[in-house]
Structure 1
Amino acid sequence: MGREVFKASDRCESRANQEFSRDGVVWIDTPGLDEDVRGEDDRLARQGAFELADYLFLVHNIRAGELDRYELDLYRGMMARSWDHKSRMFLVLTKIDQLNQEDGYRVFQRVQAQLPGITVVPVSALRYQRGIYEGKEKFVELSGMSDLLALTEQLKRGLQSSRQQEIAHLRGEVRRQLQQRINRLEANLAQREEQRYERRCRFVSAVDQTLNTVAAYG
């Protein structure tokens, strides 16, 4: 961004979805997960993910190790709701400068195994900023930020195609759900017609039996 936009710390800084626009991209910062006991922050996060965003960048501090059970359940729930989650969801591992290479790679592999098919991008904002401010290309390279920026540019170029695919999928999903509803209504109608026919048959049978009884007694 060129400056600090969304404040980040070890405690929750966002209580509502925040937006920032730059170079034709609107970035949405959602509230931290599992901070509000009422679950309101998670609801807003899910709204930002499913109703507003084309792409989802999940951010995880590499110092925390692998994803915990709450994060994993939430992210897998997101994956289950998104038919094309492998091309829409990405996990950004931050602060890679704070672990040695061996430990960092171990966490990277474990997180990848937890979310199969999801692209994981390890980055260090500290290395990137130092590389930019001090003119040290090696720090920029080691920061991983170039990979993340390249990914966002690639996603921007494919945005229209991605949206058209999403529209086509949603249309197909609407048609599928509509057909399912029609099938249920038709099945319900057929069942009611069958029940109506059976009641009519029982009624006619009862009337015939009554008339035969009356006739027998002359």
Structure 2
Amino acid sequence: MDISAITTALPERRDDIARLQLLSSSGRLPTVAVLGKYNHGKSTLLNALIGNEVFKVSDVRETVRVQAHESQGIRWLDTPGLGADVAGGDDALAREGNAREADIRLFIHAAGEGELDAEEQACLEALCADDECSSRQTVVVLTRMAQVDEADMAAILGALRQQTGDLPVFPVSASRYTRGTRENKPLLAGRSGVPELLAFLRECADEVTERRERSRRALGELLLEAVRQKRAACEAARGRLRKDMASRLAAFKHDYVDMRTRLRRELKGN
């Protein structure tokens, strides 16, 4: 399959084509990527999951490009926060990293923000639609749960589950987990929700090889069908062009014959 030719013919499918190239390569670790709004705790959560301060964490915007780290047999991707740059370039990088590289997507939402807003809902719906055809897994992670009291947390979780449907939802406190592990307080770390999320991610990682193969077959069929449709559209356009050219040529010939006839008559009359 000529990938460059397909990309030229189907520029709107460049993410699918890039994903298919990655799926066709071997030896790649399962990839977990975070996606969500700026300052909702994506980098902090990744550091907790990795068990080390790998990604920069700050109140100011730090993540402006896709960053990767390999640990525990997983490749972790930190992506720029959505909706924080006016030009939208960082949003494109975040979506591109998730569309092309991620096997498991963690959709991050801070508990204190309450329900998902319209932008987050649209993004999550797009991920779910992609999951169906790409055999990937999206997980909703409700961060900073320690900052919300239990009653409010229950209400937020109830509302969030109404918005997220059948997607798995994990409320976590990365700061509580980090403190518990650093200070050797297993009960504190255990109440953070992070161990449950880690266990779930390991189960998902074990399924990545099988999911990638299903995705590779589905993407290949999707792109082949897209190429067929593009070819059919080109053939139809070529047919219309030939018909139009034939019609124009016939009209030209008719006008030429008519003009020549009238000219001969005028010459005979003189």
> What TM-score range do you get, normalising by the shorter chain?
0.7 to 0.9
Q: Is 1:135 aligned to 2:186, yes or no? A: yes
Deviation at 1:179, TM superposition (A): 0.9
Deviation at 1:37, TM superposition (A): 2.3
Mean Cα displacement is larger for which, 169-178 or 190-199?
A: 190-199
Pair 86,119 (structure 1): closer, same or farther in 2 beyond 3 Å: farther
Pair 63,191 (structure 1): closer, same or farther in 2 beyond 3 Å: same
In structure 2, list runs of 5 or more residues that go unmatched. Answer: 1-49
Q: 2:71 aligns to what?
A: 22
Deviation at 1:212, TM superposition (A): 9.7
Counterpart Cα distance in 2 of 1:85 and 1:77: 12
Pair 199,32 (structure 1): closer, same or farther in 2 beyond 3 Å: closer
**Could you tell me the TM-score, scaled by structure 1's length?**
0.80
Q: Percent identity?
A: 29
Deviation at 1:122, TM superposition (A): 0.9
CA contact (8 A) 2:80 2:94 kept: yes
Counterpart Cα distance in 2 of 1:64 and 1:8: 19
Question: Secondary structure of the equivalent of 2:152?
Answer: helix
Q: 2:139 aligns to what?
A: 90
Q: 1:173 aligns to what?
A: 222
Deviation at 1:204, TM superposition (A): 7.1
TM-align CA RMSD:
3.0
Write out aligned runs for 1:26-175 (5 A). 26-81=75-130, 83-84=132-133, 87-132=136-181, 133-136=184-187, 139-175=188-224
Deviation at 1:207, TM superposition (A): 8.0
In structure 1, list runs of 5 or more residues that go unmatched. Answer: none
CA offsets, 1:15-71, max 9 Å, x none? 222221102211111122222222232122122211222221121110111122333
Question: Secondary structure of the equivalent of 2:119?
Answer: helix
CA contact (8 A) 1:121 1:144 kept: yes
Question: Secondary structure of the equivalent of 1:143?
Answer: coil
Counterpart Cα distance in 2 of 1:210 and 1:39: 61
